[in-house]
Structures are given as structure tokens and as C-alpha cells.
Amino acid sequence: MAQKITKRSEDYSQWYLDVVKEAQLAEHSPVRGSMVIKPTGMALWENMRNALDHMFKETGHENAYFPLFIPKSFLSKEAQHVEGFAKECAVVTHSRLKSVEGGVEVDPDSRLEEELIVRPTSETIIWDTYRNWIQSYRDLPILVNQWANVVRWEMRTRLFLRTMEFLWQEGHTAHATREEAVAETKQMLEVYRSFAEEFMAMPVITGVKTASERFAGAEDTYCIEALMQDGKALQAGTSHFLGQNFAKAFDVTFQDKDGEHKHVWATSWGVSTRLIGGLIMTHSDDSGLVIPPKLAPKQVVIVPIYRSDEEQDLVLAYGNALLEELKTKGIRAHMDTRDTYKPGFKFAEHEARGIPLRIAIGPRDVQNNKVELARRDTFEKQLTDRDGIADTIANLLETIQNDLFQRALQRRNDMTTEVESYDEFKQVLDEKGGFIYAHWDGTAETEERIKNETKATIRCIPFGDSEGGKCMVTGKDSPKKVLFARAY
Amino acid sequence: MAQKITKRSEDYSQWYLDVVKEAQLAEHSPVRGSMVIKPTGMALWENMRNALDHMFKETGHENAYFPLFIPKSFLSKEAQHVEGFAKECAVVTHSRLKSVEGGVEVDPDSRLEEELIVRPTSETIIWDTYRNWIQSYRDLPILVNQWANVVRWEMRTRLFLRTMEFLWQEGHTAHATREEAVAETKQMLEVYRSFAEEFMAMPVITGVKTASERFAGAEDTYCIEALMQDGKALQAGTSHFLGQNFAKAFDVTFQDKDGEHKHVWATSWGVSTRLIGGLIMTHSDDSGLVIPPKLAPKQVVIVPIYRSDEEQDLVLAYGNALLEELKTKGIRAHMDTRDTYKPGFKFAEHEARGIPLRIAIGPRDVQNNKVELARRDTFEKQLTDRDGIADTIANLLETIQNDLFQRALQRRNDMTTEVESYDEFKQVLDEKGGFIYAHWDGTAETEERIKNETKATIRCIPFGDSEGGKCMVTGKDSPKKVLFARAY
């Protein structure tokens, strides 16, 4: 399998597609821009979803489900929102087909009175619903999340990173005060940060977007930004403080404790199957996918090696006992008993699919009460005692998880540069890429100029204090350095 | 709350809608025919989904995800399939909106070359995909399931029972032989039967549909049929043997062990949020929802009762210790500490929402080391020792689960009649309703006549042997009695 994967150094984009293919995560579908998520990819997404869902519930959120279709008129109610999404909407106009010679055609008599938009995001339909759910301060806060598919008509798509239809979660909360809504926005960003770092082993920078990069309809967009191996940034999750924009657009008010009627404060926040793209480009290598153990659908694969029937019986019995012991310990283990493939083929296949740990067992291991462990991330092998193997492996999986994070962090730090001048900025960008901290005067004009001249964008204004200085382009005052990169 | 629910004897349809509303399960959305599934309804669906998903995985299935949109031409490839779905399709024709004075309009320049259908079911897109997944017998079987939303343009909708968009799962499997595909179809029907009976406590009859009630594109449709309290039947799940129809339509062949190229055999099977409607109409009463404990998002609610601050401290401490003990036992318990509502109001609310068991605790209970348990299903109360309460409650929840099933089974049996003549058939149907077993000559004509004259349909031809006889309408030979009912 491994030789089917293009080297990163040769063609990074092709490498990415090869990894997705050989790991059997997803493939293109006949509907342009849509993907088929294959069972291995779906199992990975389910693990990510379950971990996130648990974190959402721990922070007091409940799931609900809102309609796929949004009346066209709803989109127009929030001016910036429609501006942001109008140009990439799938529009349903008819409700029937009719048979004609050689196939079916749209039945012109089934034209809808009002067209329906396939949701690109659900703020409008949800705030229309919240109007009926909220009368009094007693009805607040509303802390709701939705797991759903959404559609944005993208012209240039890439599996997981940018697809016309994608799976995501979108949280939509309603609050009595600005302070509470801002606190929620920040809390959910922190949930995303800790998920990215603790589960995906993907270090992220947190901060706030500039006005031009904000979600359409938000007062502030907070984000987590990760750095991929090729030195490009990936926006991995966003949490929006929506102010009272949607409450005003949909007339959602509540009677406060003081008897006054006030508009409700809102947040929304989301991550999507795009995270899988981020995970791939954070850890994988020229042999294929590398998955952090916490998210791996299969954490351990046992490959039995034998020549004779007698050896087979011996090795499989040894392997089955081992398998049971690992499962009992809660380790997601699997034995590859296919007799149509040789061990070497299996090794390459499991490497391409990113299983964190491989156990090879042969007749001699049975005799010596040993197993051979091979780490996917480092390819290190070690011959280990069979006794206490479940604990050994549990610890090793934890080590792998930590090592993946530390290596990714080290790489990000190595690829992060602080610059003082625009010349230095351009030089670093072209020669090294990565994250670049630089002073910026805070204007959209300068941001736009930098983007046009270098293709780098401001990924975020990081949280926390830093020293003031002068904008690298205009020399005007800048309160702090901001984070630039070329991005996916 | 309770008085807001119409009595079943007064207006069964309104009772159903009232239960859905007061239990906060779902509500109508501004998009005609679409519903909003509220957090309580979604938590119930998630419990159902998790139980089913576990059963699917135990039988070797994996989840995947296929595109929401299906090219129009795909639908036409299987003649019966397009016939069945063409008249209820949401059709996407454009990909952009543009701003006009006062709002947005569909941009006529964004007209798609080929229209896209929002999936009413996914056989076509999936079999188009399987063509690339299957070359050899080694690639079979494919055992894939998808959790997804689907859209069927229904004119007359009712929350959960029939909605334009609904959530469901659809299994799509591919096999080398007819026998294996038939076995899979039956296995999944058995999964549905055991889920319905063991989790939903809803007894079902299994059997096969007549040709006229078959899924569009199937050779055989197996089903589970439940009987609602009002004597109407509900088709609760279907499992289809698709023969080679889709393999031929999409040219999916494999090279068999004997070297021959053969068409693949297929099944598909699904259940949907419609099951929630079935659950409601199986167990609920004039006080609201009744949920079987195995599926209840909250199994136990503790209501503390006190007058003074001192009593409050005492009772809440007692309640918290109780809550922890129940949670430790794995019981989904919750304490209702809201001080804005009185106990009587809370009792009615929890009844309307169907929480299986209520625990009321007051100062005297603390003193006597007792708790008062009240069953939602029977309204029976018992004063119980505090000691060993977690075991007591775990056992009681199991008893409630079993009692719900037994009562539903008893009711179904009471409402099932065998008849010998068409006159008797019509009389039973009008006076009693329910399931009716009667002889039928096996022709579509007779089936159609009975449907037109009585609104009763053949729910299924039950599995197993039974005595032959004469058709109640035509007097022609009939190999066995079949199951009739008026249905949702």
C-alpha cells in the first residue's frame, strides 16, 4: 500500500489525497463537491463527535434538531448574514418530477410559492423558533446544539477541508445579558481548544478574528487556528458572539426581572468534518495516516504470523487470549486473521490506515511469552513481555498520544516567526511559511493590501497582552502583534 | 399541565398532538411539513439511535455517510424506484441568490445543468458508489448503515408520524448470493422486532408485504407492524430484499470464486423518527407521555418537598445523597430543585413528560428514612425504605419496562380478531378496529377492492404456517389468513 502514497516533499496536495484514499476515509461522489465518507472515516468522525458531544453536555448543552430547509425570506432578515451566504446556496424550487420519454423531468406545475434554501448554517431558522420559546428571563439561557449536515455551494473543493455538503455541529445559545453571552462564546472556544489539543493532539492558537474575517452576522468571531505540516494555517473551529443581531432581526425579546422587555443575546459555534483534514495534516507521514490513540477507531491491530497449520493454531490461540485481555482493559483492539494476505502486506495496510500500535506474534513469541510492538508514529519496535501486556499497551497508547502532541507543538513553534518589517515578513512567508507574528495598524485597508500582495491573512488577534509597536506596512501604531499565515 | 391534554376518548388526534406538545418533544416549523425536534424529543431519539446502532454493530455493520443530493438521472435508472418517489421530491435547481430591492431572489444565472434531488432514500447514490467498491467476491459482503435526514414531499403531515423531512437510518448491504441477502433481510427484521419489543416495549407482528405495499424497487418487503391504542396499525420498520434490481440498474458485478462475473444481491432496511410516534401511541395516557425506562432520557425524578429553610436544607441534603446513589448505580436520575414551582405543578409536568418514576421526599421521610415512589405508568405510590433504594429502583424500572410490554401485548391481543366473512370483517372494523386476520385470494384486485370499500389494508402476510381457507371476498382459495387493519 505504502508505495501508492506520493511523498510530501514531491507534491503535498497529492500526498493529502493519497492518504485519504489509502486510509479509506472518503472519496469523491458523482455529485460535484460532495463526498462519500467511508466506514473508516465515519468511525473516526463518530469518535470525534462522541468526545465533543460529551464535552457539550458537561457544559450544560442539550441537542435538538431543526429543519434542513430555510424559507428564502428568512435569510434576508439579517443583512450581513444574507450577504455572507447568498452566493453559495442550494435552492429548492420544485417538489415533483414527472415521467417523460427516456427519464424524468422537473414538473413545472410543482413550483414552490417560496423557494427553500438548504441550510448553509441555521441561525435564521433557529432564531425564528426561539421567538416562541422565549418570553421571560426564566426561559433563559437556552443552551442548544445540533449535529447536522449543511450545504455551501463551493466551487473549489477538497475532501474534508472544503466540501459542498459537510457534517458539523452548530451550537446556538440565547442569553439575558451581553456578559453571559460573551462568557459562553469564550467557554465554547475553550472546549474546542481542549478537544483539539487533548483528543486530536493538534496544538492551536486561540484569538479573535478581524472584522473582515468575521462570521456573517457576528459581532465577534473567536477561533482556534492550527498549523499544518506544509506551513499553512487551518481554521479549525469558530465561536461567535452574535450580540443582539439575530434577536433584532427575528424580534426575539424577553421580559427581564425588572419588568423591561429586552432583546436576547446570542452565540453560535461550530466545528465540522474539516477537523479530519486538520488531523490528517497534523500527524500523517509518507506511509499514510497517523491517528492519535484517543480518536483511533482501532487502537491496536494484532497480526499473527505462521507457516504451518500447527503454528497457526498456536499463534491464533495466543492472539485470541491477548485480544480478549486488551478488550477487557477497554482497548480497541482487533486481530487481522485474513489468510488471503501476507503479513508484510497487512503491515503496510495498517500503517496506511493509521492504527497507532501493531502487535506481531509468531511461534517463537508464543514460546518465549513475548510480543513485538510497533508504534505507527515512530516505527519503533520493541519485544515485550506478554505478562502485564494490557497495562504496557495502555501506557504506550498514552505515550503516543502525548508524543504526537509534543511533536506537533515543537513543529509549530519551529515554524512560528516574529518579524519586525514587511520585507522580513515576505521573506519568511516565501522561504519558510508558517505562523508569523507582526504588527498591524488595525485597518481593513492594510489587511487587504497584505492579503493581495502576499496571500497571507490575519488568522487571529491572539488573546493576552503583548508589546505595542509600529505596523510593519504603514508604520502606524499597533497595540500588539497579530498572527498571519497563508491558510487553507 | 395535565388538564391541557385532550382526553383520548374525546379526540384521539388532538390528544396525540397535545402529548407531543406538553412532553416538549417536537413542534411544527415555519417550513410546512418540517418539524423542530426539541431537546427532550432529541434525547429520546438519541437513546433509540444508540440502542439500534449497538445492535447494528453487533451484527457486523459499519456506518458511512453518502451525499444528501442525488443527480436526477440516477433516480430514473431503476424503473419502479423512480415511479415510487418522483412525485414527492424536493428538487434543487439553482446555486445562488442575488440581492434585489427588498430582499433576495434566485439568481437565474445559477441554474444547474442537471437538477439535484434531496434524497428521499439513498439506494441510487449508494449503488452507484458500490460499483467502484465491488470487483471480487472478496469485497463482499458490504454491510453498511447510514444515519441521515431524508425528504419526501408529503402533503398531509403529522409530527413524527409523517413529516416532509425526517431522521432515520438506512442500511444498504451487498451480497454474493440470493440466500445471503435474504438471510440479511430477515436478520435485520429480527433486529427491529427485538428493538421494538425489548426497548420500546411495543409488541409487533412480523411478516411480508403484498406486492402493492412493497418498497419501490424491492422484490420483497418485510415489516414490523404495531397496533396503536386507537386500533389503527403503524408500520414501524421495513427490511427489503432488493434482489439484483439495483445491481442491474447501476451495473454492479463481481467476479465470483468460479471466475464468473455476476450481479450483486442487495438489501436495504430502515426505521425513522416515526418510531417516536409509535412509542407515544403505544403507552401514553390522558396525563401525557409514558416512556419505557430503557429509553427514557430521565428515568427518575426526585421532587423535594419542604416549607421552611431548615426543612429545605434537610430535604435537599437527603435528596442529593439519594441522587448520587442512583447515579452511581447507572440510573438516569435528576432532582427538580426549581423553587419557582410548587410540588403539585412539578408532579403534573413530570407526568406529562413521561418520566417513569417519581420520588417525593419531605421532612417526615428524612426522619423515618423513607422515600415515596410513584410509578408514571400506573400512578401507584409506595412508601419505601431508604436503605437499598438503588436496587429497589433498578428492579422497579425493570418491572415497569416489562409491565408496559405486557399491557401493550394484552391490548393488542384483545384488539385482534379472526373473521371468516367479509360482513364480519366490516363489522369488526367499524365497531372495534384493531388487527383482523382474514383469508384473501392473493390478488391485487381483491386487495384494492377491500381497501376502497373499507379503508383497511393488508399490513402483512405473517410468517409461519396457518390453515388454508377461502377468500372472504371472492371465495377463492387462500393459503393462509393475512393481517388487515386501518393504518397510519
The DSSP-derived string for A74-118 is HHTTSHHHHHHHGGG--EEEES-EEEETTEEEE-GGGEEEEEEEE
By C-alpha distance, the chain B residue nearest A42 is B64
| Subunit contact B71:A165, Cβ cutoff 8 A | no
- Residues B68-89: what's their mean pLDDT? 91
Nearest to B93 among A42, A66, A93 (CB): A93
- Residues B462-487: what's their mean pLDDT? 94
Nearest to B69 among A31, A99, A144 (CB): A31
Residue of A29, A50, A65, A128 to mutate, testing the B interface (most B Cβ within 10 Å of its Cβ): A65
Q: Helix H segments across B301-420?
A: 309-328, 343-353, 363-368, 389-414
| Subunit contact A92:B66, Cβ cutoff 8 A | no
**CB within 8 A of A59, min separation 6: which ones?**
A143, A187, A188, A191
Q: Give the pLDDT confidence of B24-52 residue by residue, as tens digits.
A: 999 999 998 999 999 999 999 999 999 99
- CATH number of the structural domain B300-396: 3.40.50.800
| Subunit contact A104:B86, Cβ cutoff 8 A | yes
CB A465 within 8 A of CB A417: no
Sort out which chain A residues have CB atoms less than 8 A from B34's CB and list them.
Answer: 67-69
By C-alpha distance, the chain B residue nearest A129 is B29
Nearest-neighbour CA in chain A from B428: distance (Å): 39
| Subunit contact A93:B75, Cβ cutoff 8 A | no
Out of 3.40.50.300, 1.10.3720.10, 3.30.110.30, 3.90.79.10, the CATH code matching A416-485 is 3.30.110.30
Mean pLDDT computed over every residue of chain B: 96
| Subunit contact B36:A118, Cβ cutoff 8 A | no
Confidence label for B3 from pLDDT (cuts 50, 70 and 90): low
| Subunit contact A68:B165, Cβ cutoff 8 A | yes
Q: Give the pLDDT confidence of B348-359 residue by residue, as tens digits.
A: 999 999 999 999
By C-alpha distance, the chain B residue nearest A152 is B95
| Subunit contact B63:A39, Cβ cutoff 8 A | yes
Beta strands in B88-178 (DSSP E): 91-94, 97-100, 103-106, 111-118, 142-151, 165-175
Percent of chain B with pLDDT over 70: 99
Residue of B47, B61, B69 to mutate, testing the A interface (most A Cβ within 10 Å of its Cβ): B69
**B75 closest CA partner among B135, B126, B147, B146:** B126
Residue type, B115: E
Count other C-beta atoms under 10 Å from residue A239's C-beta.
29
Cis peptide, bond prior to residue B292, ω within 30 of zero: no
- CATH number of the structural domain A300-399: 3.40.50.800
Residue A467, all three cell numbers: 508589546
| Subunit contact B64:A70, Cβ cutoff 8 A | no
CB B72 within 8 A of CB B85: no
Nearest to A86 among B36, B88, B104 (CB): B104
Complex-level ipTM: 0.96
Residue of A24, A68, A157, A257 to mutate, testing the B interface (most B Cβ within 10 Å of its Cβ): A68
Confidence label for B255 from pLDDT (cuts 50, 70 and 90): very high
| Subunit contact B97:A82, Cβ cutoff 8 A | yes
In three-state secondary structure terms, A361 is strand
User: Has residue B2 got a pLDDT over 70?
Assistant: no
**What's the gap between Cα B29 and its chain centre?**
21
| Subunit contact A97:B87, Cβ cutoff 8 A | yes
In three-state secondary structure terms, A275 is helix
The position carrying cell 457534517 is: A167
User: Has residue B312 got a pLDDT over 60?
Assistant: yes
By C-alpha distance, the chain B residue nearest A90 is B95
Out of 3.10.20.600, 3.30.930.10, 1.20.120.530, 1.10.357.10, the CATH code matching B2-283 is 3.30.930.10
Nearest-neighbour CA in chain A from B224: distance (Å): 26
Q: Where are the domains of chain A?
A: 2-283, 300-399, 416-485
Q: Rounded to 5 degrees, what angle do the CA atoms A139, A140, A141 make?
A: 140
Instruction: Walk along chain A (488 residues) in steps of 10 and give the mean pLDDT of each run.
Output: 81 97 96 95 98 98 98 90 91 94 91 96 97 96 98 92 97 98 98 98 98 94 98 98 97 97 98 98 98 98 96 97 97 94 95 97 96 98 96 98 98 98 97 97 97 98 91 96 97
| Subunit contact A103:B66, Cβ cutoff 8 A | no
Q: Give the pLDDT confidence of B286-306 residue by residue, as tens digits.
A: 999 999 999 999 999 999 999
What is the rounded CA–CA span in Å between residue A340 and residue A318?
20
Count other C-beta atoms under 10 Å from residue A55's C-beta.
18
By C-alpha distance, the chain A residue nearest B297 is A62
Q: Rounded to 5 degrees, what angle do the CA atoms A470, A473, A474 make?
A: 65
